[in-house]
A = this chain, B = another copy of it.
Amino acid sequence: MTAADPQPKAAATSGDGFFRSRWVDRPAHVTELEPDALPQGFRAAGVHAGIKPKGLDVGLLVSDRETVSAVRFCDNALIGAPIAVTSEARLEGLRAVLANSGNSNVADGARGLETAREAQAAAAEALRLDADRIGLASTGVIGRQLPRDALVSGARACAEALGPDATDFCTAILTTDAGPKRACLEVALPSGPTVRLAGQAKGAGMISPRFATMFCFVETDAEVEHATLDLLTGVCVKRSFDRISVDAQLSTSDTVIAFANGAAGVRIEPESPDELALGEALDALMRQLALEIVADGEGTTRVGRVTVRGALEHVEPVARAVADSPLVKAALLGADPNFGRILQSTGQALGGGTPFVVDLEIEGLQVVSAGVVLDLDADAWRTLERAVESDEVDIALTLPGEGGETEVFFSDLTHEYVTINSEYST
């Protein structure tokens, strides 16, 4: 597909556009298109194949031209068969991804690998591609056998149903997500032309990435060398999906795949202003998608960001400890300015014997200096109590030492999370 692609309409770019989080700035050179649109030369589909009782459960996304790809997987000792099989494919030149929801293909041994390979072969045959050009992804309950026939027939049905937008594909990859997470952007390059950049993500529970803990598929019709695409993908993943936690649980099937097919006829030169501009757009896209995963975390009502500065070896464990503390997360739910719990989890991460010289600010209001809680007057308390009632709450910790700075975005812990996860598989 080329210039004959239907032109997506520009979506609203007001506050209720895609870049809704105050922690993500919409780059000035980016325009939002219809969120389900795809860059030129990409098609997608989603079908109901019977893996879930109802609803779309198998999705296929394909590039109609030679394509450069970059891939990131999760870092779990237990990985799904789709990751094992995709790892043996042409990771730098994938043309398509076949994804299913409803049942993850994990811990099923040789049978699971065979299921993945059969589905890959079926998609390849239907698309007239080599099997090693097809990436696979699978999400849903772990520990149950994925119905092979449903997945294979779903792959074939998707190949018949491909169309120029990602509407059904976005839906078919969802599990407990409240709704689709996607955007399509027009990126104005400094050298003059525009390219499109789109992304579709899923994820709501079992979210604690080392880099990729969910699915995110990204497409651009720019022409990008593999090394450049891989670099941009790696950097942007580290600033997005690597910085979020719903429940500190690293999945077995998390997958990020970026595709660049050159259909726009615009080449991104390495280390050029155009590369920087595309990178900024990709960064904003992935950060907003990552924040949507947190904001749509199972049961989430409020999102916190903890920023930690100080000695390099301490900032990451402290940020994770605060973000993953069920006590901090429950206080976030209750809009309870119970910052003693932030101090406690910080001290836990630092460990016994480390001097507790910590400053703490909540929404810019300092509440702890050098490890000692400040005497706040009634006005300051009211300010604090109002601040923690917002949808996004900022927590900033400063530790002794220099050279380290990190952030983690995290959801609150809610009754709904407990309900969802105590009733999930039965």
Contact = CB atoms under 8 A, between A and B. Distances in A.
Interface in A315-368: 325-327, 330-331, 333-341, 343-356, 358, 368
Quick one: copies of this chain in the complex? 2
B106 A75 contact: no
A404 interface: no
A78 B339 contact: no
A142 interface: yes
A344 B252 CA distance: 6
A336 B372 contact: no
A144 B368 CA distance: 11
A418 B423 CA distance: 16
Interface string A66-87: 0000000011111100000000
Contacts of A122: none
Contacts of A353: 77
A249 interface: yes
B372 A107 contact: yes
B141 A352 contact: no
A247 B321 CA distance: 12
A77 B418 contact: no
Contacts of A144: 340, 373
B341 A142 contact: yes
Contacts of A143: 338-340, 343, 368, 373
A390 interface: no
A413 B420 CA distance: 12
A344 B355 CA distance: 35
Most buried by B among A107, A205, A250: A107
A108 interface: yes
B78 A422 contact: no
A210 B347 CA distance: 13
Interface in A387-426: 413-415, 417-426
A210 B348 CA distance: 10
B109 A371 contact: yes
Nearest to A112: B372
Contact of A346 (B78, B106, B346, B356): B78
A357 to B, nearest CB: 10
A113 to B, nearest CB: 11
Going nearest first, the 8 A-B pairs with the smallest beta carbon separation are A142-B340, A78-B347, A143-B340, A334-B422, A330-B421, A109-B372, A77-B350, A75-B352
Interface of A: 74-79, 104, 106-109, 141-145, 205-206, 208, 210, 247-252, 325-327, 330-331, 333-341, 343-356, 358, 368, 370-373, 375, 385, 413-415, 417-426
Given A249-B348, A334-B422, 7 more contacts: A75-B351, A76-B347, A108-B373, A141-B338, A334-B426, A336-B423, A337-B425
